[in-house]
Structure 1
């Protein structure tokens, strides 16, 4: 058994760690509230864009547009696929980063003809260490998702798509299912699928007339880039929210483990102290007995 001094030193070390995990939990909790507000503030605008695209496609289902092309003329293995991977800048967030990187690596291996776009320092280090080529590193801290950064990312990808340097674009990020559950997923960003905007209306709802000027294609070409910006921004904010939520849960688990360890060490410390006191009493009694024997002699 360790002596009382060693146990005390270990308890002090755990208490210091406990203060850090508690502080990190509070910081992540505050950032989570902020990120949720950011998302809720911008959602109405982008939902309206999606609704307008749905209206146009409902009236003109056969509209021809570059953003809705099917790429049927190319075989799947010949298509150039772009993957946007959103990771965190820091660890200590449970399995958050591991799940994103595992899913990304699976798709990169399955489709060799690809371009990789990475956000987050952990993702950059992960792919560099494994010799996986990164075509573009967006050196934005994912700790501060902004609409302007989402627009810059979208403009670069849309430019590659319009030049046909990319046939498909996917985004790999983490979405929040509920307060305690997260899900890593991959979503197709480009080309868009008309079926995704197919909103069925009741039979008794009349079809309104739309005046799209200068043309339906021009209107769609103006709306779609903003929709892509909104999707990327939503993915950035949701990933950031999930990262903070995962870190909160990880710190909560670490805090609980630290408290359990302190409880066990407290018991060990009391036993060690009791053993030391018992040893001292035994030595005093033995000494007293020795003195009595000496006097008798």
Structure 2
């Protein structure tokens, strides 16, 4: 059995760990609420962009815009695909980083010419260790998802797509479907797919019964608002990943806190037994010494 001093040291160590895990839980909870509020505040703006694109597709179904060009003439073996992989900047978040990295590896393995863009230090360390070429990094974004950072990423992706350096652009992130269910997903950003705007086919919608004209042209309007749509999707992916990370860390810290409390109960029991044994031994020694004195 360990000595009383060793058990007391172990108890103090677990108590310190318990304070840390509890503090990390509270911090992640606060960060999660702030991120959700940030996304909800800007959501109406991006919903309006989505509705405008639907409206243009309804009134101009014959339009052929570069952002909707699927470049079907390019065979699969020659298509250049860009992957924006969003991970965290640190661990202690359960399987959050592992799941999104495995999905990214599987997706890139199916692409003939993948181009990798990373958000998050965990992904950077992982792919560097795997000797995978990293074509672009967006530092200090995972822990601070903002519209400005989303704008930077979307500008680069749109430019590479327009220049023909990328034929497809995907975003791999984690979506928090519920507090207990977080799912890594692959979303295609470019080219845009009409099936992502199903409302435009609904001819009974009262919004589409009126005559609408776009100045100077529907094509020009799309060129102006599609970058905003892509920025919104990237910002949504960044915030969803950040929320998933915080939620995963909350679950991990909650589990660690419960384990620490259980360990403290066990250590307290062992400590009390050890102290009781020591006291019993001291009493026995005192009684034995007294008896020896009387006999002498």
TM-score by length of 1: 0.95
- Answering whether residue 160 of structure 2 is matched by residue 160 of structure 1, we say yes
Deviations 1:14-60 (A, max 9, x none): 11111111111111111111101100000000011001101111222
Q: Which residue of 2 aligns with 1:283?
A: 285
- Rounded Cα–Cα distance in structure 2 between residues aligned with 1:207 and 1:141: 43
* Structure 2 gap ranges (5+): none
Structure 2 counterpart of 1:270, from 259, 269, 272: 272
Q: Which residue of 1 aligns with 2:147?
A: 147
Q: Using a 3 Å threshold, how does the CA distance of structure 1 residues 79 and 278 change in structure 2: closer, same or farther?
A: same
How do 1:171-250 residues align onto structure 2 when only pairs under 5 Å count? 171-199=171-199, 200-201=201-202, 203=204, 205=206, 207-250=209-252
Deviations 1:60-94 (A, max 9, x none): 22310111112211222221000000111111111
- Rounded Cα–Cα distance in structure 2 between residues aligned with 1:201 and 1:141: 38
- Rounded Cα–Cα distance in structure 2 between residues aligned with 1:71 and 1:123: 30
Contact 1:140–1:149, Cα closer than 8 Å, also in 2: no
How do 1:2-41 residues align onto structure 2 when only pairs under 5 Å count? 2-41=2-41
- Answering whether residue 49 of structure 2 is matched by residue 49 of structure 1, we say yes
SS in 2 for 1:243: helix
The 4+ residue runs of structure 1 with deviation greater than 6 A are: none
- Rounded Cα–Cα distance in structure 1 between residues aligned with 2:46 and 2:29: 26
Q: Using a 3 Å threshold, how does the CA distance of structure 1 residues 49 and 201 change in structure 2: closer, same or farther?
A: same
Over the residues paired in the alignment, what is the CA RMSD in angstroms? 1.5
Equivalences, count = 294
* Structure 1 gap ranges (5+): none
- Rounded Cα–Cα distance in structure 2 between residues aligned with 1:270 and 1:141: 50
Contact 1:89–1:122, Cα closer than 8 Å, also in 2: yes
